[in-house]
Amino acid sequence: MTDLSAAREKQSSGTEDPGTTTGPLDSPTRRSIAQAKSIVVKIGSSALTDLAEGLDTERLDRLAAALERRMRAGTDVIVVSSGAVGSGVAPLGLKKRPTDLATKQAAASVGQLQLAHAWSTSFGRFDRVVGLVLLTAHDIEMRAHHANAQRTLDRLRSLGAVAIVNENDTVATNELRFGDNDRLAAMVAHLAGVDALVLLSDVPGLYDSDPRKSDAKFIREVAATDRLDGVSATEGSHIGTGGMASKLSAARLAADAGVPVLMAAAAEVDTALGDASVGTVFEPQPKRLSARKFWLRHAAESSGRIAIDDGACAAIARSRRSLLPAGILSVDGDFASGDVVDVVDSHGGVVARGMVAYDADELLPLRGRSTDELPQEYRRPVIHADDLVPLR
């Protein structure tokens, strides 16, 4: 039995127990998603492909029709589409999704063409033009590339085209991957400044455990302050790379940055993109992170670590103060002024990330010294509060 079938069986039999974290099918978060003027919709591999036949154009056509209806209702839509590797498996005669990098890249090179053509053909029924945007984690980590991607997405939207975004699997290495398209979708949602994120796959939403178990409880709504203690998330299917663990992580990432999220089944796309009365919604934090702070917190690559004492930890976490040399215990890494570094406590736990104002070698002799002791040119903060994002 599929996850969606199991959920429907529970709902029809009346045995579904929403649990303590659930909410109503009509809530402020659901209304904000239903009324959003711009959204990112992520579609999982399992909603588009299967191992035997490859790309399922009938399912893709249904998804495109639902997306078109939402756009005609006045919403800008960006699509993050998985399925490149899955679309290349069958044409290459492979029996299963490849696990080695070279074969995955080969499958992606074949599947990406098929996937792009299918989306173009399907949206062509509505005289809608699509644009393919392929990204790697490096494009998000590098500030200049990040800004270029943002401008491309904005311009496609202004021209009335649909951006079809995917990870560039043909060139991405294991070290330069988002890990899955759920995380990519969360990144794109904030990058493009959209009003909501919709994650569509073969699961109907969030459960506290495997939905195939009779005692699994469906969670309709996750509050911004909910830590989801006791929720057990699983890994991906044999078709895609993302599982509930990646969807949950991406949903929390986006919601924590101020973007409301709906997690639902692709089979219920019409309702998901209608009144949003299906699936699980994640309430966003009330204050949205700026693009700069989101990049610092979630996208930028760390070039080193600065360990700080308890007093500096408190100043950063509670008072949102700048980091000064006096609070520094040690410096690790060969970073330069302008690089992003992790700020850690005396036990090695990351407490913040920020853009450092000193090279590592000039910072070493400054650690532990008060500002009054330092020459004038070294009295600026190590990391200014505007360039520092607390993680606790």
Domains of the chain, residue spans = 3-293, 302-390
- Range name among 21-35, 64-78, 87-101 with the lowest pLDDT average: 21-35
What band does 108 get if pLDDT is binned at 50, 70 and 90?
confident
Residue range 260-266: average pLDDT? 96
CA 191 to chain CA mean position, Å: 10
pLDDT attached to residue 49: 79
pLDDT attached to residue 181: 85
- Range name among 45-54, 112-121, 383-392 with the lowest pLDDT average: 45-54
pLDDT attached to residue 33: 97
Q: Is the pLDDT of residue 373 over 80?
A: yes
Residue range 187-212: average pLDDT? 90
Distances in whole angstroms, Cα of residue 248 to Cα of each of 42, 86, 235, 255, 284: 13, 22, 11, 10, 14
Q: Pick 7 or 343 by higher pLDDT.
A: 343
Question: Which CATH superfamily hosts domain 302-390?
Answer: PUA domain (2.30.130.10)
Q: Is the pLDDT of residue 146 over 90?
A: no
Q: Is residue 198 a contact partner of residue 42, using CB atoms and an 8 Å limit? A: yes
pLDDT attached to residue 303: 92
Q: How many CA atoms lie within 13 A of 232 on its CB side?
A: 8
What's the token pair of residue 330? 């040690």
Residue range 126-145: average pLDDT? 83
pTM: 0.79
Q: Is the pLDDT of residue 322 over 60?
A: yes
Q: What percent of the chain is predicted at pLDDT more than 70?
A: 86
What band does 229 get if pLDDT is binned at 50, 70 and 90?
confident
What band does 123 get if pLDDT is binned at 50, 70 and 90?
very high
Residue range 75-94: average pLDDT? 90
pLDDT attached to residue 39: 97
pLDDT attached to residue 359: 96
What's the token pair of residue 156? 């496609």
Q: Is residue 300 a contact partner of residue 146, using CB atoms and an 8 Å limit? A: no
d(CA 62, CA 318): 49
Helix axes 101-124, 57-72, angle to 10 degrees: 50
pLDDT attached to residue 385: 92
Q: Is the pLDDT of residue 364 over 80?
A: yes
d(CA 315, CA 257): 22
pLDDT attached to residue 297: 83
Q: Is the pLDDT of residue 302 over 60?
A: yes
Full 3-state SS string of the chain:
CCHHHHHHHHHHHCCCCCCCCCCCCCCHHHHHHHCCCEEEEEECHHHCEECCCEECHHHHHHHHHHHHHHHHCCCEEEEEECCHHHHHHCCCCCCCCCCCHHHHHHHHHHHHHHHHHHHHHHHHCCCCCEEEEEECHHHHHCHHHHHHHHHHHHHHHHCCCEEEEEECCCCCCHHHCCCCHHHHHHHHHHHCCCCEEEEEECCCCEECCCCCCCCCCEECEECCCCCCCCCCCCCECCCCCCEHHHHHHHHHHHHHCCCCEEEEEHHHHHHHCCCCCCCEEECCCCCCCCHHHHHHHHHCCCCCEEEECHHHHHHHHHHCCCECHHHEEEEECCCCCCCEEEEECCCCCEEEEEECCCCHHHHHHHCCCCHHHCCHHHCCCCECHHHEEECC
Q: How far apart are the first and last CA of the chain?
A: 40
C-alpha angle with apex 338: 334 to 342, nearest 5 degrees?
60
Q: Is residue 163 a contact partner of residue 78, using CB atoms and an 8 Å limit? A: yes
d(CA 46, CA 311): 49
Q: Pick 320 or 4 by higher pLDDT.
A: 320
Q: Is residue 247 a contact partner of residue 182, using CB atoms and an 8 Å limit? A: yes
Q: What percent of the chain is predicted at pLDDT more than 90?
A: 51
Residue range 261-283: average pLDDT? 96
pLDDT attached to residue 172: 57
Q: Is the pLDDT of residue 7 over 60?
A: no
Q: What does the pLDDT look like over 159-172, one tens digit per residue?
A: 999 999 998 866 65
pLDDT attached to residue 102: 87
Q: Is the pLDDT of residue 145 over 80?
A: no
Average pLDDT, the chain: 85
Q: Does 3.40.1160.10 match the CATH number of domain 3-293?
A: yes
Q: Is the pLDDT of residue 61 over 50?
A: yes
